[in-house]
Amino acid sequence: MYCKRFYFKFGVFIKYYITTPIFYVTNKPHIGTAYTVIIADILSRWHRLLGDDVFFLTGTDEHGEKVDEAAKKNNQTPQELVDKISKNFEELWKSLEITNNKFIRTTDKKHVDTVIKFLMEIYKKGDIYKGNYEGWYCVPDETFITELQLVDGKCPFCGRDVKKIIEQSYFFRLSKYQNKLLELYEQNPKFLMPKNKSQEIINRVKSGLNDISISRSTVKWGIELPMEKDHTVYVWFDALINYLSAIDWPNQNYKKYWPADLHLVGKEINWFHSVIWPAMLLSVGLDIPKTIFSHGWWTVDGKKMSKSLGNVVDPLEITKKYGNDALRYFFVREVPLGDDADFSEKALISRINGELVNDLGNLVYRTLSLAEKFTGEVKGNKELEEKINLEKIKEYMTDFNTFEAIEEIWSIVRNTNKYINEKEAWKLSGDELGSVLYNLLESLRVISILISPFMPETSEKIRKQLGNKIENLSDCKFKVYSGKIKKEGHLFEKIK
């Protein structure tokens, strides 16, 4: 039901399908948006390093009442608005060197057609019916709110005003799938991750599920409901189906990558992905994704990001000042995936000056300075290889523990720096120096491979200075030294 393997003549071909949420176009990309996509990019690059066939999807969510209202305020049509803002997202991901295979938009004709086909499949199963909706709706979050969920009469998720809606609507029989969802959670312990957030979802499902409204008769900017053209599909029901439309469902091609191996989402949309989405798939009779992982939120200097406070951090501005790799490193080094975290330039600079300049940068510069002056033969024992625990790093990455994985990689960096000092390499010559250099250069080569998903630009700089070819994870073992040293400047500059 889950991970599929495709066999070919000389080995095993493993697919890896990873997605981010599709981002709503009325919000400008910020540091939290970039975090999701960068983490997904790190995981994608890691699986490519393993030799997997990776399909990495991201995109934009472009329907709904909020988009319509924003377009009117700007004297634009909704299509003009989404065309402009969606392009901003695409350009940002290119600037951040994100390696997504596809950028999907919910206004794409292919997606629209897929949503209609998917809805008709649910309708045929008897899981969609017409009724009357009366309740609260949060326009900024495009979310239906029950009376019990209100907090002081406002949206429990964003704290903003909600409006009362009374209108005809089509409903999805979510309540029908309560027991099947609980069975899914029990039988597949890695479906809801991280573990500290899974119980909240399970408890909510156990307390009972209500059928959900999936159409709006008063919202015109959306996909027409196939059962009744005067209704448009609820934006969340529309958006979730992008994970299938991107891989050409219902055509047979989709089976190459479905089911998804990982939906990486922010915790504020965990409910939609962990409850509503699998119920939709169960209704249609499709396999369930392997894992839904909900990561934490980023505050800025201890405060929630908001336009009124003027503290919304532009990831493009940060990377222009400090570089893509510095931000990528900070994201995985500062906090475990799943926890909330705080962003500050002071903390970022501290990581750059401490670990990137002093640890990695100095290690590379010192090693290459010794190596470019050495005229003997670089060979010796493999005393530093035993310091590399590749299996532990693999285990961490399998469990989405990027924090511990980068810590384990950094232990190799520190051990190699310690090795230079203990050997007092600058005092050595001849075969003795050749043996030490062998361990240093091979350690750097392995480090360059291991950091490539996290810091691809830095990895490439090290590789070029070592004179090595592009390698994969299977090359993380000491071999006969065959590089050609070409030392350049420092990898990172200290920031005052």
For residues 289 and 408, state if they share a domain: no
For residues 291 and 359, state if they share a domain: no
- Structure confidence at residue 141 (pLDDT): 65
- Structure confidence at residue 151 (pLDDT): 77
For residues 276 and 352, state if they share a domain: no
Assigned token pair, 207: 């307390």
For the chain, what is the domain count? 2
Q: Looking at the domain assignment, is residue 480 inside a domain?
A: no
For residues 184 and 242, state if they share a domain: yes
Higher pLDDT, 281 or 13: 281
Q: Looking at the domain assignment, is residue 206 inside a domain?
A: yes
Percent of the chain with pLDDT over 70: 95
Q: Does residue 6 carry a pLDDT above 50?
A: no
For residues 42 and 173, state if they share a domain: yes
For residues 268 and 358, state if they share a domain: no
Q: Distance of alpha carbon 381 from its chain centroid, rounded?
A: 40
Q: Does residue 140 carry a pLDDT above 90?
A: no
Tell me the HSE value of 186 on the side-chain side, using a 13 A CA sphere: 9
- Quote the CA–CA distance of 147 and 426 in Å, as a whole number: 72
CATH classification of the domain holding 228: 3.40.50.620
Assigned token pair, 402: 């990027």
Q: Distance of alpha carbon 209 from its chain centroid, rounded?
A: 29
Q: Looking at the domain assignment, is residue 300 inside a domain?
A: no
For residues 289 and 357, state if they share a domain: no
For residues 256 and 112, state if they share a domain: yes
For residues 280 and 356, state if they share a domain: no
CATH classification of the domain holding 461: 1.10.730.10
What pLDDT band is residue 204 in, cutting at 50, 70 and 90? very high
- Structure confidence at residue 142 (pLDDT): 66
Q: Looking at the domain assignment, is residue 99 inside a domain?
A: yes
What pLDDT band is residue 451 in, cutting at 50, 70 and 90? very high
> Domain range spanning residue 432?
345-475
Q: What is the mean pLDDT of residues 224-228?
A: 94
Q: Does residue 1 carry a pLDDT above 60?
A: no
For residues 34 and 119, state if they share a domain: yes
Query: How confident is the model over 256-310, as pLDDT tens digits?
Result: 999 999 999 999 999 999 999 999 999 999 999 999 999 999 988 777 776 656 7
Give, in degrees to the nearest 5, the angle at Cα 143 between 141 and 149.
110
Q: Does residue 400 carry a pLDDT above 80?
A: yes
Query: How confident is the model over 406-435, as pLDDT tens digits?
Result: 999 999 999 999 999 999 999 999 999 999
Mean pLDDT across the chain: 92
* Nearest one of 241, 240, 230 to 170, comparing CA atoms: 230
Q: Looking at the domain assignment, is residue 312 inside a domain?
A: no
* Nearest one of 93, 19, 97, 18 to 53, comparing CA atoms: 18
For residues 131 and 205, state if they share a domain: yes
**What does pTM read for this prediction?**
0.92
Q: Does residue 3 carry a pLDDT above 50?
A: no
Q: Looking at the domain assignment, is residue 419 inside a domain?
A: yes
For residues 353 and 285, state if they share a domain: no
Residue ranges with strand state E in 146-295: 163-172, 192-193, 212-213, 215-216, 224-225, 228-233, 262-266, 292-295
Q: Looking at the domain assignment, is residue 97 inside a domain?
A: yes
